[in-house]
Amino acid sequence: EPEVTQTPSHQVTQMGQEVILRCVPISNHLYFYWYRQILGQKVEFLVSFYNNEISEKSEIFDDQFSVERPDGSNFTLKIRSTKLEDSAMYFCASSESSGGSYNEQFFGPGTRLTVL
Amino acid sequence: AQSVTQLDSQVPVFEEAPVELRCNYSSSVSVYLFWYVQYPNQGLQLLLKYLSGSTLVKGINGFEAEFNKSQTSFHLRKPSVHISDTAEYFCAVTTKGGSYIPTFGRGTSLIVHP
């Protein structure tokens, strides 16, 4: 069964460093998403991406975040200068389509980011 | 804007006992409702969803949930749990006609004891 994969499973970084979290969505899916979950808090939407553009983003997704689909398979989330409060589990998701009618989002296992 | 409240952060239960995980939502427009499950070291998996029709929704692994519009609830139930049901359960809501980005609750940790 096709699934969303994410690497690495755990990333430890120093405050101020750049990190790139990687995701491989399901191959025929067209919409991609990033969510995060700070320990003990809700899963929060960060950004959605379609046709090489951001289609929607939350207020959390500020200038220190960026997303990219560098090739036909990977979808990345970059945090330019990490802060302690960026420590969280980051989930990638993909769906066949979005809007118009409901389409299920399929989630990856997450990357746990620890900023020291 | 919509919101979701999961009233219990942790629910311990013995194997073969029934369980109910509570979820209440708030929205000014019609909603779709979801329950996701996250097993240790895995991603979020859709357990069941309510889009329309019958208010009693059956999902995978013997779980079911009932949409109660008057009480704005979508509680998850299972008549007899197994050790393998130990996981984190997330209730989520999205509004009809929007972008279908779900708003999640904080999650309920179901711990099944032998």
Q: Domains in chain B, ordered, with CATH? A: 3-113 (2.60.40.10)
Give contacts of B 8-67 with A, CB under 8 A: 32, 36, 41-46, 49, 51
State yes or no: pLDDT of B76 exceeds 80: yes
Of B4, B42, B99, the CB nearest to A109: B42
Give yes or no for a cis peptide into A70 (omega within 30° of 0): no
Please give the Cα distance from A99 to A110 (Å, whole number). Answer: 24
Which backbone phi and psi does A36 adopt, to 5 degrees?
A: -135, 155
Q: What is the DSSP string of chain B?
A: --EEE-S-SEEEEETT--EEE--EEE-SS-EEEEEEEE-TTS-EEEEEEE-SS-SEEE-GGG-EEEEETTTTEEEEEESS--GGG-EEEEEEEEETTS--PPEE---EEEEEE-
State yes or no: pLDDT of B99 exceeds 90: no
Closest to B36 measured CA to CA, from A110, A48, A99, A24 = A110
As its CATH architecture, domain A5-115 has: Sandwich (2.60)
Q: What is the pLDDT of residues A85-106, one digit of tens each?
A: 999 999 999 998 755 566 788 8
pLDDT at B44 (0 to 100): 86
Best probe of the A interface among B47, B95, B100, B109, by most A CBs < 10 A, is B100
CA angle A60, A23, A46 (to 5 degrees): 15
Instruction: Indicate the domain borders of chain A.
Output: 5-115
Put simply, the answer to whether B101 touches A109 (Cβ < 8 Å) is no
Closest residue of chain A to B102, computed from CA coordinates:
A45
pLDDT at A116 (0 to 100): 96
Q: How many CB atoms lie within 10 A of CB B60?
A: 10
Please give the Cα distance from B49 to A45 (Å, whole number). Answer: 19
Confidence of residue B96 (pLDDT cuts 50, 70, 90): confident
Position with higher pLDDT, A1 vs B30? B30
pLDDT at A98 (0 to 100): 59
Tokens standing for B36?
């996701």
pLDDT at A87 (0 to 100): 97
Tokens standing for B45?
């998996």
Alpha carbon separation from A31 to B53, B65, B77, B79 (Å, rounded): 27, 28, 32, 36
Q: What is the pLDDT of residues A28-87, one digit of tens each?
A: 899 999 999 998 888 999 999 998 999 999 999 999 999 999 887 899 999 999 999 999
Rounded average pLDDT over B75-82: 97
CB–CB of B94/B101 below 8 Å?
yes
